[in-house]
Structure 1
Amino acid sequence: MDWKHNLNQLLGNATELVRKGQLADATRAIQQALGGAFANPATATTAPPTGATLRSTGPQPAPQAPGAATASRWRTGFASADVEDAVVSDGPDKGHPGAGPSHSEPPAFAAPKATTGRPAELPGSFTRVAFSYPGAPQDHYYLYVPPGANAGTPMPLVLMLHGCTQNPQDFATGTGMNAAAAPANALVLYPAQPGSANPKGCWNWFRPTDQQRGAGEPAVLVAMAREVMARHPVDSRRVYVAGLSAGGAMAAVLGREYPDVFAAVGVHSGLQAGAAHNVMGALSAMKNGAKPGPAAHAGAHQSATSALPPRPIIVFHGDADGTVHARNGEQLIDAALASAIGGTRNVQQEEQTGRSPGGKSYTRTVYYRTADSAGPSAPGKTAVAEHWVLHGGGHAWAGGHAGGSHTDPGGVNATREILRFFLAHPQQAGR
C-alpha cells in the first residue's frame, strides 16, 4: 500500500471518529496520518544543513521558555511537524490541565493581573515577561525592545504569532524580526501558546470562541499588546500583527476583529478569518482552501468596529505549499479586495516578477484604490493589499534564518517586506 493511499485511508478513519464524537481518537488518527504521509523520502527532511546547530537562539540571551527544548529541534521545508496546524480536538482538551478556561469568554479588555509598578524592559533586550489574564493559560510572552527605546519617542509595535510546534524564541530566530525592527526602533511582541491550550502549541484559529472580539485567544493577545502599550511608549497608530501558518490565520482573525487596534496585517502561509469552525473544516481548508459561505467572506462579521474598513494586508504563500494550500493566500487577498472601499471595481493592480538573492522566484502583486491613479510606488500612495506568490515555495518563512524552524533561507526576505509594508500603513484618523 503506497503512502498516499494510506494517508487517505487514515484521514477517512479520522473523519468517521469525529462524526461519532470520539474527538481524542480522531486527533490521534489525524496525527498518525500526517506523520505517515511525510515518511515519503521525497518530502522528508532527514538532517540539518551542514554546519548548523540544533539549538534555537535569539538575537540576545534570554531564559529558555518552558517546552522550548522540544519545539526548537530542526524542521525545514515539508517536515512532518509542519502539517499539524489543525491537529487538536474540537473543544477544550481535557487531557491538558487548565485548557478548559482558555476557551471561556473573558471580559473584553480585562486588565492583565500584577503588572502595576513593574519596571519596563531595558532598551536592547529580548526578555521573557510573565503575564496573567483571567481564565487563560498563557503565562508569558517575549518582548524585544530596540536599542533606541530610551529616546522616549513613541515606537511601532509588531505582534508576531508563531506557528505550530514553535515558540517565541524559535520564531524570533527564524524570522529575524528583531534585527529588522532595530533600525525602525520598533518593539516586537511574541506571545507564547502553551501546550495546555493546544497540544502542538497552535493558535486555535478555527474554534468559534477563538474567532470573536472580546473572547478567547483574540482577547488574550490584545491584552498582551495593551500591557506592552501601557509600559512602553508605543505609537497607537502603528500597531501591527503578523504570523506564520496557524499564527497567520490568527493574525487574520485579529485584523478582522480589532481593526481599531491593528493598523495592518501580515499573513505568511496562513488562512483567512472564518475559514473553518471545527477540526474537519480546518483540515479541508488547509487542503483545498475555505469553502464558499458567509463565514468565509470579509464583512460578514458584525462587531462594535464593523463600520471601520478592513486593515491593509500583506500575504506570502508558497505555490508548492503541501500543508496549507496556496488557494488560501488567494482567498485572503480576495476577501481584502471585496471589503475595500467601493469593492473590487475601485481597485487596480500592478504586478512584478523577480528572484531572491538565493535564487527563488516570486510574483508580487500590489492592489491599490483607483483614486490612487499614479500607482502604489508613487509618493503618498498606499496599497489595499499586497500578495507575494513564492514559486516552488513550501510551508516555510521565506528568507528566514536556518537556525529557526519552518524557514526557507533562500527565499525572498518576507520579514523585511512585511515590516516595510507595516510602516507604510499607520492607522488613519477616522479609518
Structure 2
Amino acid sequence: MNSQFSQLMKDATALTRAGDLQAAMAAISTALAHGAKPAQPAADDRVIDVEARVIESDAAAVTGTEQFVCGHFSHRAGARDYRLFIPAAQADKPRALVLMLHGCTQNPDDFARGTRMNALGAQYNALVLYPAQTRQANAQGCWNWFKHNHQGRDRGEPALLAAMVRHIAETHGVDPAHIYVAGLSAGGAMAAILASTHPDVFAAAGVHSGLPAGAARDLPGALAAMQGQGGHAPAGTQSSVRMIVFHGDADATVHPSNAERVVAAHGAGAVRVDEHAGLRHGTRTCTRRLHKDAQGRVVTEQWRVQGAGHAWSGGDPAGSYADARGPDASAEMMRFFLER
C-alpha cells in the first residue's frame, strides 16, 4: 500500500466522521484509483477528480470539523486544482457558496490568507472555493480575462469555473440561488465576466480592483484598459447580476476609472444614486454609492477608498496585495451577497 493511498483512506475516514459522505466516497474512489494505476483525466464535464485531503494551513485554522481541503476538477474546457473551505456544520446544509478568484502571481492559500474570507465562511455557514490558475495557462498566474476565447459562456475559463462551482454546490447541497463570485484584479475581471456569461449561476458578484467584462480582447488591449484607456464595455457584456465594487483611488496598476465602467455594465435598472462620502473605516476615508432601482433595491454598491493602492481593502497583510487600513471588503461583500 503506497503512502498516497494510505493518506487518502485516512482522509476518507475523517470526512465520514464529519458527515460528508459524498466527499468520503470520492476520496475512497480516488484512493483505489491511485492504488491500482494512475487516474486518467475525464473529458465529461460532469466528472470530478476529488480529492479530498484535509490540510492544516495558516490560511485557515482547522478547528472542530472545519476543513480546508485540496481538490482537482476536470471538465471539457480544462482542469484546475482548488482549495475549498468547509465550515463546521451549523445546519443540514451550507447557507451559501462563494467562488473566490485570486489575482496575478497569487495562489489560493495566499488569497485565502489575505482576504480572511474563510473566517466569514465559518461565521455565515458558507463554503468558500478558491480555484488555482496554472502557470501553463498563464505565465503570471492570471485568469485570462483579456483573451477573447475566455469571455464566452460555453468555452474557456468561464465555462470551467461555472461547471466547477455548480459541482461543488450540488455535492454539498448548496441552494443554487445562493452562489456568489468575487475576485481581485485579474480575478475581479473574471468575476465580472462570469456575472455576464452566467447570470443563471451567480446571484451576485464582487469586483475588487478589476475591470468590466469585454474591456480587452488581447494583451495590448488589456494594458490599455488597465491604464484607463478605452470606452465602456461593449454591447452584450452588460448584466443584471447584483454587483459590489471596491477600488482604491491611488491604484497605479488598474486605473480607478475601471470601477465606474464595471458599475455602468451592471447598473441595469438603476434610477437613482445615494452617495455617502467622507466615511471613515480604519485609517482610510471612502465614498459609498448605492445605485438603486425604482423599488429602492440596490443594484450596484460602489466603494471608492481614498489613498488605497492595488490591494484587497481591509485584508490581512500576511497575504500579498492586502491592505489592512481600509474598510473590510470581505465583510462588506459577504453582507451584500446575503442581504437578499
Is TM > 0.5 for Structure 1 vs Structure 2? yes
Matches of 1:290 and 1:310, distance apart in 2: 22
Q: Which amino acid aligns with 1:179?
A: A
Q: 1:415 aligns with which of 322, 330, 334?
A: 330
Correspondence for 1:144: 85
Q: Do the aligned partners of 1:137 and 1:197 also contact (CA within 8 Å) in 2?
A: no
What percent identity do the matched residue pairs reach?
Answer: 46
Measure how far apart 1:424 and its partner are.
Answer: 1.4
Matches of 2:47 and 2:229, distance apart in 1: 36
Is the partner of 1:180 in helix, strand or coil?
helix
Q: Does 1:263 align with 2:203?
A: yes
- Could you list the runs of 5+ residues in structure 1 that have no partner in the other structure? 1-61, 63-105, 373-381, 426-431
Matches of 2:73 and 2:263, distance apart in 1: 34
TM-score (norm 1): 0.64
Is the partner of 1:183 in helix, strand or coil?
helix
Please list the CA deviations of residues 295-349 of structure 1 after superposition, one character each: whole Å capped at 9, or x if unmatched.
x14x524xxxx9xx61010000011100000000011112222xx13xx5x3343
Q: Does 1:250 align with 2:250?
A: no
Q: Does 1:321 align with 2:251?
A: yes
Q: 1:353 aligns with which of 264, 270, 278?
A: 278
Correspondence for 1:187: 127
Q: Which amino acid aligns with 1:362?
A: C
Correspondence for 2:291: 367
Q: 1:281 to 1:199 in 2, by over 3 A?
A: same
Q: Which amino acid aligns with 1:251?
A: A
Is the partner of 2:266 in helix, strand or coil?
helix
Q: Which amino acid aligns with 1:125?
A: Q
Measure how far apart 1:350 and its partner are.
Answer: 3.4
Q: Do the aligned partners of 1:112 and 1:223 also contact (CA within 8 Å) in 2?
A: no
Correspondence for 1:393: 308
TM-score (norm 2): 0.80
Correspondence for 1:51: none
Matches of 1:120 and 1:240, distance apart in 2: 25
Is the partner of 1:248 in helix, strand or coil?
helix
Matches of 2:52 and 2:132, distance apart in 1: 21
Measure how far apart 1:230 and its partner are.
Answer: 2.3
Q: Do the aligned partners of 2:49 and 2:72 also contact (CA within 8 Å) in 1?
A: no
Is the partner of 2:75 in helix, strand or coil?
coil
Matches of 2:140 and 2:65, distance apart in 1: 32
Q: 1:225 aligns with which of 150, 155, 165?
A: 165
Report how many residues are paired: 291
Higher strand share: 2
Matches of 1:185 and 1:161, distance apart in 2: 20
Correspondence for 2:74: 132
Q: 1:181 to 1:154 in 2, by over 3 A?
A: closer
Q: Do the aligned partners of 1:162 and 1:171 also contact (CA within 8 Å) in 2?
A: yes
Measure how far apart 1:182 and its partner are.
Answer: 1.1
Q: Do the aligned partners of 2:189 and 2:213 also contact (CA within 8 Å) in 1?
A: yes
